[in-house]
Structure 1
Amino acid sequence: MGRRKGRAVNGWLVVDKPAGITSTSVVNKVRWALGAAKAGHAGTLDPAATGVLAVALGEATKTVPYITDALKCYRFTVRLGAATNTDDAEGEVIASSDLRPTDDQIRAALPAFTGEILQVPPQFSAVKVDGMRAYALAREGEEMELAARPLWVESLEFISRPDADHAELEMVCGKGGYVRSIARDLGQALGCLGHVLVLRRTWSGPFDAEDGLSLERIEELAQSPELDAHLLPLETGLADLPELRATAEGAARLRNGNPGMVIASDVEYGDEAWASHEGQPVAVGIYKAGELHPSRVFNL
């Protein structure tokens, strides 16, 4: 049996991911439902996590890095008084404490986790250690010294305190943040230990969980024009970049991977931008002296 190629679907489908499924499984389900040849996602969510997972289809996969780099918002509940080997509720409790901080003590601890911070990823994470995924080594019982990585935390706010054992927080952060590490480190800072109990990504760059389709809905609408109607255009993934208009000749040159003439308004020399022609995205690149020098070209 030859592999069915699938059709050329270009754009984004926003999924409200349920708990208990990997991000890769969601992508595969979306690709099947749309009969699409090519799909990818912007920013993995742990299987236990829910919320916005933006699936890029076809040429939109070329815009994934811009969503990966964009700010994201997480609403999560920290279980106070226990540390686990995975830093979430899936793992085994490895230490516990009877100490419980006050609301004010939690609030006072949060500023230390905002701005440019250094964060050590969880032992159970997709970080590579000597070419192996950390979670594969952790499952074999290996203790690893994972290097701290820089993370930009735009804000970290106390939302509610359902009871003494739980605190609900909201974090807006940049690329590569681990909410599980925040819960673990906050618990250590407060002296009571902690791990993530519930985690939901409420938005990611221009994509909002409220606009996301459930997997059930995607299955119901599979292979139908109605599902196609939920697709967002490819350029949604370029929301953080300025748009330039390419001339007809410029668009033709850009499509061949050459610098092309654009009509620029408020961009500076060396800025990253994208060019469109007659309403269609043509390329992303660097603006220099009246031309866009393309780094990615869209074949639409």
Structure 2
Amino acid sequence: MSVDGEAVQVRDEADEPGWEVDPDDEWGTAVITTVGRQLKLRRESVGMRVADFAAAMGYGDDLAYKIEAGNRIPRPEYLEKADEILGAGGLLAAMSEDVAKVRYPKKVRNLAKLESQAVELLSYGSHNLHGVLQTEEYARSLLSTRRPTLSEDELERAVAARTARTAVFERSPAPELSFVQEEVTLRRPIGGIMVLRRQLEHLLELAQLRHVSIQVMPTSHGDHPGTGGRIQVLKFHDGTAVGRADDEFGSRPVTDPRQLRILELRYGIIRAEALTGRESSAFIEQVLGET
């Protein structure tokens, strides 16, 4: 196909799938509907047909129609190119930030928001590594084990959401991050040996950050108050906090100070019984050498 005499390679929806809109995400649906409407109005204002616009963009007509109808989440680069082609002066590209947030499932988006606001994070993991500790390939392999199986679109969104949460390590001022991981989470070869090796190397790198503490609970330490599953507590600048545990309070998030004290007490004991940070790094290096 050519536009103004120039050959244009057209990518269909399978090549550049974008993201499906979650019908239960009211805010996300509103954002994408608004973006689609603005794209359509801008295209019509310059007198460009959908087919011509899609060709200039390098995508199929079907994707352009779905995005304008608010049925498809455009990638940031789609909006940036559309802004250029339609001469929007940055108005369309400026929507990329909100659109990027909509890509992530509502539940994960809310969690990421809380993590981005926390001044302290306490986390004990008994089955898997905490999401913010995971490399992208490890996260993809782990999320691929879910049943029912995630569709390709759902998997990509979940991986992108989990990877985005790692921004917590780059915040300024830096929050205090404390993790205690069961030994089994370091040894289970999620994604294969090489994926696990790179994940262990990543943990060692994170452990060197001054505001990050990564401790290991060896399997040989049989009796401790974390046998019921994961525990997590997030503390905020205003003195409030939110926490949850797999075997406490119906696994629901809690904010009541009395319930939070229970979780902090349990986490404190777990942390005290785990290996120290230096011992834990040595332990991870040992597991890496054995892998």
Q: TM-score, normalised by structure 2?
A: 0.27
Q: TM-score, normalised by structure 1?
A: 0.26
Structure number with the bigger relative contact order (C-alpha 8 A, sep ≥ 6) is 1
